[in-house]
Amino acid sequence: MDLGLRGKGAIITGGSVGIGRAIALELAREGCHVAVNYRRHDEEAREVVEAVEREGCKGLAVKADVASFADAHAMVERVRETFGRLDILVCNAGITWDGVIWKMTEQQWDQVIAVNLKGYFNYNRAAAIVFKDQKSGKIVNISSINGLRGKFAQSNYAASKGGEIALSKSLAKELGKFNVNVNVVAPGMVLTEMMEAIPQEFTATAMAETVLGRFATPEEVAHLVAFLCSDRSRHITGEVIKIDGGQYI
| 88-91 and 9-13 strand pairing | parallel
The predicted model scores a pTM of: 0.97
- Whether 248 maps to a domain, the answer reads no
- Whether 104 maps to a domain, the answer reads yes
- Whether 3 maps to a domain, the answer reads no
- Whether 116 maps to a domain, the answer reads yes
How many domains are contained in the chain? 1
Q: Are 36 and 57 in contact (CB under 8 A)?
A: no
Per-residue pLDDT of the chain (249 residues; tens, 9 = 90+): 799 999 999 999 999 999 999 999 999 999 999 999 999 999 999 999 999 999 999 999 999 999 999 999 999 999 999 999 999 999 999 999 999 999 999 999 999 999 999 999 999 999 999 999 999 999 999 999 999 999 999 999 999 999 999 999 999 999 999 999 999 999 999 999 877 777 788 899 999 999 999 999 999 999 999 999 999 999 999 999 999 999 999
d(CA 96, CA 208): 22
Question: Which tens digits make up the pLDDT trace of 5-20?
Answer: 999 999 999 999 999 9
- Whether 2 maps to a domain, the answer reads no
Question: Which tens digits make up the pLDDT trace of 127-170?
Answer: 999 999 999 999 999 999 999 999 999 999 999 999 999 999 99
- Whether 77 maps to a domain, the answer reads yes
Q: Are 151 and 244 in contact (CB under 8 A)?
A: no
State the angle between helix axes of 42-54 and 18-29 in degrees (0 to 180), rounded to the nearest 10: 20
Q: Kindly report the CATH number assigned to the domain that includes residue 157.
A: 3.40.50.720
- Whether 118 maps to a domain, the answer reads yes
Catalytic residues: 157
Give the range of the structural domain holding residue 206, as residue numbers without chain letter.
Answer: 9-243
- Whether 214 maps to a domain, the answer reads yes
